[in-house]
Copies of this chain bind each other. A is one copy, B any other.
Amino acid sequence: MNKSDLIRAIREKQSYLCVGLDPDPDRIPAHLGSGPEAVLAFNLAIIEATQDLAVAYKPNLAFYEVFGSEGHEVLAATIEAIPAHCLSIADAKRGDIGNTAERYATAAFDVLKADAVTLAPYMGRDSVEPFLQHAGKWSILLAATSNPSAQDFEFLGSPPLYEQVIRTSQTWPGAERLMYVVGATRPELLAQCRAAAPNHFFLVPGVGAQGGDLKVVSEAGWAPRLAGGLIVNVGRSILYASAGEDFAAAARQEAATVQLQMAALLNRTAI
């Protein structure tokens, strides 16, 4: 899914919703059972119920790695179930030296067949470049994250580290395949990051359970030429909208509520 496909999907679906597939076995509806099979059944039902309302799905690898090799199979089957009109994002936050990075890229793009992978920038260019060589794939670099401790290191320096990550990485070969993670919990940073990267998509976690507000976030990070340029992740409020047998319908209803807000924001800007 290239940039124009993504922009088209946002316009057609009137949505820039990413559904975070971080299934917590303790919160999956009891009738599905427990363990990796239950997680897969849950994911498939969520994807089926929301795919016309979402432009992306983001499974977080930690939630699968706890199940060992079975978890890997569930993850691969989950990514396979994400339709081609939605971006599949392996939320892996990998980052290692070149010869290792090549293997992580293979694992994400060729083995798991994800369209995109999240990466940590700490080790610099040679830890990211092997990912950027994959045509048709996206690398989503952590910039300003949504967690309270983001300020420990990401905010250091002047300009702050997150801004230096955004500015420096845009000079790397293949930078057109970059997106950035910019959290929803500090909207003032979104505006600052948007100024530093006017032509790149941002993956925005932190709306909902973590406290970020969709309207505020959308105003702060908007890139009109990219149909907003935002992919806003919502996880728990959709996944666990109901703990009963109606969980998929409830997830759909919650996703539809978010999508309606997004449609209004898209249309307001279009005027």
- Given A22-B100, A93-B94, A127-B147, A72:B68 Cβ within 8 A: yes
Contact A68 B111 (CB under 8 A): yes
Contact B68 A76 (CB under 8 A): yes
A253 at the interface (CB under 8 A from B): no
A63 at the interface (CB under 8 A from B): yes
In the assembled complex, the CB of A49 is this many whole angstroms from the nearest CB of chain B, namely 24
Contact A65 B103 (CB under 8 A): yes
Contact B153 A124 (CB under 8 A): yes
Contact A111 B168 (CB under 8 A): no
Contact B156 A96 (CB under 8 A): no
Closest to A145 in B: B123
- Given A93-B95, A96-B60, A100-B22, A111:B66 Cβ within 8 A: yes
The A39-68 residues at the B interface (CB cut-off 8 A) are 60, 62-63, 65-68
A98 at the interface (CB under 8 A from B): yes
A164 at the interface (CB under 8 A from B): yes
A contact residues, total (Cβ < 8 Å): 54
Q: Specify which chain B residues have a CB less than 8 angstroms from the CB of A156 in the assembled complex.
A: 156-157, 161, 164
The A62-116 residues at the B interface (CB cut-off 8 A) are 62-63, 65-73, 76, 91, 93-98, 100-101, 103-104, 106-107, 111-112
Q: Specify which chain B residues have a CB less than 8 angstroms from the CB of A152 in the assembled complex.
A: 121, 123-125, 168
Contact A123 B100 (CB under 8 A): no
Docked complex Cα distance between A124 and B127 (Å): 19
Q: Specify which chain B residues have a CB less than 8 angstroms from the CB of A149 in the assembled complex.
A: 123-127
- Given A62-B100, A69-B72, A161-B161, A147:B122 Cβ within 8 A: no
A165 at the interface (CB under 8 A from B): yes
Instruction: Report 22 cross-chain contacts, Cβ distance below 8 Å, ordered by A residue.
Output: A62-B94, A62-B100, A62-B107, A65-B107, A66-B107, A69-B69, A71-B72, A97-B146, A121-B122, A123-B145, A123-B147, A123-B153, A123-B154, A124-B154, A125-B149, A125-B152, A126-B147, A126-B149, A127-B149, A153-B164, A156-B161, A156-B164
